Amino acid sequence: MTAQVITVTSGKGGVGKTTAVANLANALAMDGKRVVCIDGDIGLRNLDVVMGLENRIVYDIVDVIEGRCKLRQAMIRDKHYPELYLIPAAQTRDKNAVSPSDMVRICADLRPDADFVIIDSPAGIERGFRNSIAAADRVLVVTNPEVSAVRDADRVVGILEAEEKGTPSLIINRLNPVLVKNNDMLSAEDVLDLLGIQLIGIVPEDESVIIGSNRGAPVVADAKSRAGQAFRNISKRLQGQDVPFMDLDVQNGLWGAIQRFTGRK
């Protein structure tokens, strides 16, 4: 078994990197994969909160790097999936406590025993971002359908290409089909047109995502959630399956309203 190392990044902050990591990791674990998440946001950790594992942290990634514990000891087992682990970031240190070669070494140690290693990159394009992409086999860029988020995503894609990390795949997060229909939001086509990279998923705006993050229970486990379905689809695509994209078109009329109301569309 040799794990694929996937880094989730965005350039801009607040577009949903951490939420995407937590949901994809849970979705992969639901399919029986062995998954290790790494929080790359040293000093501003929150993947542990979104995964609901905050109170179990004893050691963190900086403890591993500085030799205070073994890698195994810093891996926190998930509450629901015994094959899902989190390596938390240190909250009281900064990005300089980790170097790109540290990340490469940790991922090399994890590879033999996992199917997927998912790294949550911090926002920005500085040291923390470089640490996070150092070991990546594949990079997912998360963006929102907003001009500023797309421009930052474009910058990140340019850096990844310049550093010969290969072309990343794109997740468009928090798309609101009603706003798109009324021309009040960039459409998925507009975003793809500018970035020119391969799309791996569109996640519709869904308030259950926020509720799930606050509860530490990622929405992907909710079979009725549209966003959860989108994340489950992305996880299938990461496993090499060909899953058709969801139909996000707004339904008109009473029937459409009923479908939307019941969340079944």
The footprint of another protein (CB under 8 A) covers: 96, 99-101, 125, 127, 130, 134, 147, 151-152, 154-155, 157-159, 161-164, 194, 196
CB of 265 to another protein, least distance (A): 32
Smaller CB separation from another protein, 29 or 140: 140
What's the burial of 5, exposed, middle or buried (CB within 10 Å: 0-12/13-18/19+)?
Answer: buried
CB of 169 to another protein, least distance (A): 16
Smaller CB separation from another protein, 158 or 263: 158
CB of 229 to another protein, least distance (A): 31
Q: How far is CA 194 from the centre of its chain?
A: 21
CB of 127 to another protein, least distance (A): 7
Smaller CB separation from another protein, 12 or 45: 12
Smaller CB separation from another protein, 6 or 157: 157
Smaller CB separation from another protein, 49 or 125: 125
Q: How far is CA 193 from the centre of its chain?
A: 22
Angle between helices 207-215 and 17-30 (to 10 degrees): 80
Smaller CB separation from another protein, 35 or 107: 107
8 Å CB contact between 43 and 89: yes
Smaller CB separation from another protein, 2 or 96: 96
Nearest to 230 by CA among 249, 211, 203, 250: 203
CB of 157 to another protein, least distance (A): 6
Paired residues of 118 in beta bridges? 6, 37
CB of 47 to another protein, least distance (A): 24
CB of 171 to another protein, least distance (A): 18
